[in-house]
């Protein structure tokens, strides 16, 4: 009890971000002192439920000692299955509530909001059924008969001692009137869990310490020194000049001009009454990422947030963001000796080289150490210097449950959405986000299912007063309003009119700010001088038409991007174009490459088609990149001509953002003469009828309604005088028209649009209902205990295949590790990757060498949708499990343990579940039915 309480005190003083301490303290009459006392006391009493016969009976020789002192109890066998109805967390909650009610006059509702913190310290708050079950079996808490009074005396003696030791006895009368907000109950629960885990670590708190002479304070100091847990970021108010701020943080080249959106966002962040939600809508390439981090620095300095979580749509975008986050961190001012923890948050993070380097830096043996204060260099607490903080991936802050507690995190949005999923140890996820500024990128990329989770998470973030920055280039106005209302919460005093004004704002770029409890503010900064006029044209969906057109366009050279909506169309198109232009003139990019190849593909695209000055290998002759949606976002690539399948208009605009993205000479003079005017050829549908008919694959991906609405708003740009699309001026106009309810239908389209809309609405309704099955409830009223908070949940949540399926409405997909089988039957890493990684032996008799195993694990591949249907998936898993290597399942082979292994032959082929699989470094995985 002393260890847990002492650790909680240290966590409060040295680790918990200031905004979390302020939220807890703000609910109590004594402010910060009360907040610390409450946290320490609850950590101290959290295991009082072990002082019960149901728990104490577990070890016979210890139980006999207690019986000798008059504490009678049944044996474990005599209790039978009933004993499982009194886990010590639940028992502790009941004992603490009874003590508060009978000894201090609290009402049941008053005691429940404090006692539930004890009940939930193993990750799940008990529900009312569990409390009723234990109430019906009092013998589990105290043995009936003469021993009953003694059991009660022992329990009350422990609770009395804790009340005195931790300084709360004289506060209980005043706390009785407190209504603890539910967010505060959750944060206290999480803090107790962390304190319990640290205090229960025998390396830090040995059961039989060698230094038995140590006092309790010395024991705790030795443990804390051995843990070396990095403290929170303590952000300073950044320079007032926005140009200076961005220049020092992002190493801008000389003469770089701050974009109006960036300057306006930082200034608005400073003017807000308190840090809250900011939505930044601006064109592609306007520096939204830099603006978000600058705003995050302002928000953190003003709110006391202790870190930043940057949430991105995919692992690939998370990987790309992580080094940018680290570079920004290195430019932040830091107190001398500051250590900050950083994390890449997705299931394959350990395979990322930047994160692997941090993990090596953060490697340490966690064990209690001797503390010699005289050897420590003394420095005044307020002395600071401008220096880079030491960045580490701290050894203790690893694993599914603790990793997000790191101060700075870049990762997939799934990690944020998990905060809205009823799951075990959800309180820890809430503590992780409550102490940070949260940045959500590509907010338009989430469907109804994911948005249901995101909105619920935003409502909790608003209740925690967490600053949030949302980024999007193409956000529908209705979605903007939903985000603002979700953050403001159901209890917001702001009227409907204010949120209607948010939805009606039609300027672009656009900033929307929602301070906690305040009125939304909309600001319209001017666009930068950058702009592109894009001429649209229909192109028949015919390979012959496409190749002839590209041959004419590329007569003088040039770089073309062709974006298809399905991987199969990518591969078919690439095959035809290679026949016309040659293998070296066509590059393929899609999601069906092994991880190593996909990362190499992204690097190659940036090297050849990136911005001037950074790309050194731009092709001089004609070149065509055929890509799926991987080219839509987070790649700073620049092409002379765009060909795109019809898709929802916001995504088409994203694709246009890769067209003439950078200035290449005055008037684009460095581009081939025919390609100096930006043009987008729209294909992938049949325009011969009265209503366009998109290709089947596009309908399967996006639905007919979104495609038809896109075609409808693009009509004036595709026929007649064909008015060009002006970027950025037309971005918001097109998006709002496409997503507006009841938008006008072109002549003759009404019936088709109406039928497509009904199917669309049915799908959205189905998504919303299914998302509600395991979604966290809304924030309850203050004083209502979070009893049953995650009842009927999903158990543990993580960023593996099954976990992602809980917060994304997608078919469960199979992920495999790709290796090659040699002619002699042995296994090795694939032979086409970098020479120092290719062909490494993977022994089947013993765990493979760590380096070979890590390389193999980096060759992960997600199988396509053919393998997502139940019958095919079951058959595929059964066939893959035939290659089961027991030597790879041990702890020393964690890279490959539990993985499904797909072994290709020397020709990079195999069969699986009735399909022929062929892999090539140039085209990725191709699947054909046998």
Topology classification of domain 242-371+391-523 = Rossmann fold (3.40.50)
Among 336, 309, 482, 535, CA closest to 404: 309
**pLDDT the model gives residue 38:** 98
2-202 classified as CATH 3.40.50.150? no
Contact indicator for 677, 537 with CB cutoff of 8 Å:
no
CB atoms within 10 A of CB 177: 9
Cβ contacts of residue 495 below 8 Å, gap of 6+?
none
Average pLDDT across each block of 10 residues of the chain; the chain has 930 residues. List them in order. 96 97 98 98 98 96 95 93 95 98 96 98 95 95 95 97 96 97 98 96 82 76 91 93 91 78 97 96 90 97 97 88 91 77 84 79 68 36 44 75 90 93 94 97 86 95 97 92 91 79 91 92 87 94 97 95 97 97 96 93 92 83 95 87 97 93 90 96 94 95 95 93 91 92 84 94 90 91 96 66 61 87 95 94 92 94 90 94 90 82 96 96 95
Question: Taking a C-beta distance cutoff of 8 angstroms, is the pair 857, 896 a contact?
Answer: yes
Which candidate, 305, 306, 304, 298, places its Cα nearest to that of 262? 298
Tens of pLDDT, residues 138-167:
999 999 999 999 999 999 999 999 999 999
Q: What is the pLDDT of residue 491?
A: 67
Tokens of 123: 């990750």
pLDDT at residue number 284: 82
Q: In the chain, what are the domain boundaries?
A: 2-202, 242-371+391-523, 532-727, 811-929
Give dist(CA 813, CA 19) in Å, integer: 39
Instruction: Tell me whether the CATH fold assigned to 242-371+391-523 matches the one assigned to 532-727.
Output: yes
Q: Strands 437-440, 308-312: parallel, antiparallel or unpaired by DSSP?
A: parallel
The pLDDT score that the predictor gives to residue 707 is 96
Q: At what angle do helices 242-250 and 288-303 cross, to 10 degrees?
A: 110
Q: Which residues contact 309 (CB under 8 A, 6 or more apart)?
A: 345, 404, 408, 409, 410, 411, 415, 416, 432, 433, 436, 437, 438, 439
Mean pLDDT of the chain: 90
- Residue 413 β-bridge partners: none
Three-state helix/strand/coil letters over 244-311: HHHHHHHCCCCCCCCCHHHHHHHHHHHHCCCCCEEEEECCCCCCHHHHHHHHHHHHHHHHCCCCEEEE
pLDDT at position 385 is 34
Q: Which DSSP helix (H) or strand (E) runs through 607?
A: helix 595-609
Tell me how many degrees the CA angle 418-423-424 measures, rounded to the nearest 5.
125
CB-CB contact of 454 with 417 (8 Å): yes
HSE-CB for 204 with a 13 A CA cutoff = 23
pLDDT of residue 750: 93
- Please give the pLDDT value at position 389: 62
CATH topology of domain 532-727: Rossmann fold (3.40.50)
Eight-state DSSP code of residue 606: H
Residue whose C-alpha is closest to residue 594's, from 399, 820, 812: 820
Q: How many CB atoms within 10 Å of residue 283?
A: 25
Q: Which two tokens stand for residue 258?
A: 């701050």
Q: For residue range 23-63, list pLDDT tens digits in order.
A: 999 999 999 999 999 999 999 999 999 999 999 999 999 99
Determine the pLDDT at residue 589.
96
The pLDDT assigned to 112 comes to 98
Instruction: Tell me what pLDDT residue 378 has.
Output: 30
Give dist(CA 633, CA 473) in Å, integer: 10
């Amino acid at each position: 009890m002393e260890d847990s309480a002492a650790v909680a005190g240290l966590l409060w003083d040295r680790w918990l971000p200031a905004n979390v301490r302020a939220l807890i303290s703000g609910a109590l009459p004594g402010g910060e002192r009360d907040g610390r006392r409450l946290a320490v006391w609850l950590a101290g009493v959290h295991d009082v439920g072990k002082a019960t016969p149901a728990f104490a009976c577990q070890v016979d020789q210890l139980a006999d000692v207690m019986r000798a002192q008059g504490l009678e109890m049944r044996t474990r066998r005599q209790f039978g299955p009933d004993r499982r109805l009194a886990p010590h967390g639940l028992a502790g909650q009941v004992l603490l509530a009874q003590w508060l009610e009978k000894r201090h006059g609290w009402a049941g509702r008053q005691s429940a909001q404090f006692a539930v913190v004890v009940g939930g310290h193993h990750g799940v708050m008990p529900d009312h059924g569990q409390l009723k079950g234990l109430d019906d079996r009092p013998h589990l808490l105290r043995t009936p008969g003469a021993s009953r009074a003694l059991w009660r005396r022992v329990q009350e003696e422990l609770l009395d001692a804790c009340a005195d030791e931790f300084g709360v006895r004289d506060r209980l009368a005043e706390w009785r009137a407190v209504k603890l907000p539910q967010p505060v109950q959750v944060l206290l629960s999480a803090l107790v869990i962390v304190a319990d885990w640290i205090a229960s670590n025998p390396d830090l708190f040995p059961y039989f310490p060698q230094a038995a002479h140590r006092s309790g304070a010395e024991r705790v100091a030795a443990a804390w020194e051995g843990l070396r847990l990095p403290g929170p970021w303590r952000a300073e108010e950044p320079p007032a000049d926005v140009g200076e701020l961005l220049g020092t943080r992002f190493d801008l080249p000389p003469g770089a001009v701050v974009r109006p959106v960036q300057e306006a966002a930082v200034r608005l962040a400073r003017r807000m009454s308190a840090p809250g939600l900011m939505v930044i809508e601006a064109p592609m390439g306007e520096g939204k990422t830099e603006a978000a981090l600058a705003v995050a620095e302002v928000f953190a300095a003003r709110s006391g947030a202790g870190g930043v979580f940057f949430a991105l749509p995919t692992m690939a975008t998370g990987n790309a963001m992580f080094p940018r986050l680290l570079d920004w961190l290195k430019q932040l001012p830091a107190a001398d000796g500051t250590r900050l923890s950083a994390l890449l948050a997705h299931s394959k993070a350990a395979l990322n080289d930047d994160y692997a380097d941090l993990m090596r830096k953060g490697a340490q043996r966690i064990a209690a150490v001797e503390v010699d204060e005289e050897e420590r260099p003394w420095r005044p607490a307020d002395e600071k210097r401008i220096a880079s903080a030491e960045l580490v991936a701290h050894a203790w802050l690893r694993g599914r449950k603790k990793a997000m507690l790191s101060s700075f995190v870049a990762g997939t949005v799934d990690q944020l959405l998990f905060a809205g999923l009823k799951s075990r140890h959800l309180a820890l996820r809430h503590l992780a986000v409550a102490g940070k500024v949260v940045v959500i990128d590509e907010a338009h990329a989430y469907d109804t299912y994911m948005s249901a989770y995101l909105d619920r998470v935003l409502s909790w973030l608003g209740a925690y007063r967490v600053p949030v920055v949302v980024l999007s280039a193409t956000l529908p106005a209705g979605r903007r309003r939903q985000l603002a209302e979700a953050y403001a919460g159901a209890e917001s005093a702001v009227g409907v009119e204010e949120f209607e004004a948010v939805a009606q704002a039609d300027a672009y770029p656009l900033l929307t700010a929602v301070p906690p409890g305040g009125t939304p503010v909309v600001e319209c900064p001017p666009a930068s001088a950058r702009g592109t006029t894009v001429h649209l044209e229909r192109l028949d969906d015919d390979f012959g038409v496409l190749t002839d057109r590209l041959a004419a366009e590329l007569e003088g050279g040039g770089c073309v991007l062709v974006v298809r909506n399905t991987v199969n169309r990518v591969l078919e198109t690439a095959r035809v174009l290679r026949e016309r232009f040659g293998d070296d003139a066509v590059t393929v990019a899609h999601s069906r490459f092994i991880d190593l190849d996909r990362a190499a593909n992204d690097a190659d695209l940036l090297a050849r088609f990136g911005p001037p000055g950074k790309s050194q290998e731009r092709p001089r002759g004609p070149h065509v990149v055929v890509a799926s949606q991987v080219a839509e976002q987070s790649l700073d690539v620049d092409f002379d001509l765009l060909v795109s399948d019809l898709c929802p208009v916001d995504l088409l605009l994203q694709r246009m953002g890769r067209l003439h993205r950078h200035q290449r000479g005055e008037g684009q003079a460095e581009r081939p003469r025919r390609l100096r005017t930006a043009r987008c050829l729209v294909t992938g549908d049949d325009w011969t009828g009265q209503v366009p008919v998109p290709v089947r694959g596009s309908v399967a991906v996006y639905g007919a309604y979104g495609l038809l609405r896109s075609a409808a708003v693009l009509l004036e740009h595709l026929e007649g005088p064909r008015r060009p699309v002006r970027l950025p001026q037309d971005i918001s106009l097109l998006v709002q028209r496409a997503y507006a309810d009841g938008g006008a239908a072109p002549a003759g389209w009404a019936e088709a649009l109406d039928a497509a809309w009904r199917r669309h609405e049915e799908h959205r309704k189905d998504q919303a209902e299914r998302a509600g099955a395991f979604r966290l409830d809304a924030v309850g009223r203050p004083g209502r205990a979070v009893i049953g908070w995650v009842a009927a949940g999903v158990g543990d949540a993580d960023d593996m295949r099954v976990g992602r399926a809980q917060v994304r409405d997608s078919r469960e997909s199979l992920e495999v590790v790709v290796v090659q089988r040699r002619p002699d039957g042995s296994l090795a890493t694939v032979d086409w990757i970098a020479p120092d990684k290719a062909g490494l032996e993977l022994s089947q008799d013993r765990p493979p060498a760590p380096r070979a195993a890590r390389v193999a694990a980096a060759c992960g591949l997600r199988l396509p949708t053919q393998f997502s249907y139940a019958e095919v998936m079951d058959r595929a898993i059964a066939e893959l499990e035939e290659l089961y290597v027991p030597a790879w399942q041990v702890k020393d082979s964690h890279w490959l343990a539990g993985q499904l292994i797909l072994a290709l032959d020397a020709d990079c082929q195999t069969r699986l579940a009735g399909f022929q699989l062929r892999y090539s470094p140039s085209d990725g995985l191709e699947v054909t039915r046998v």
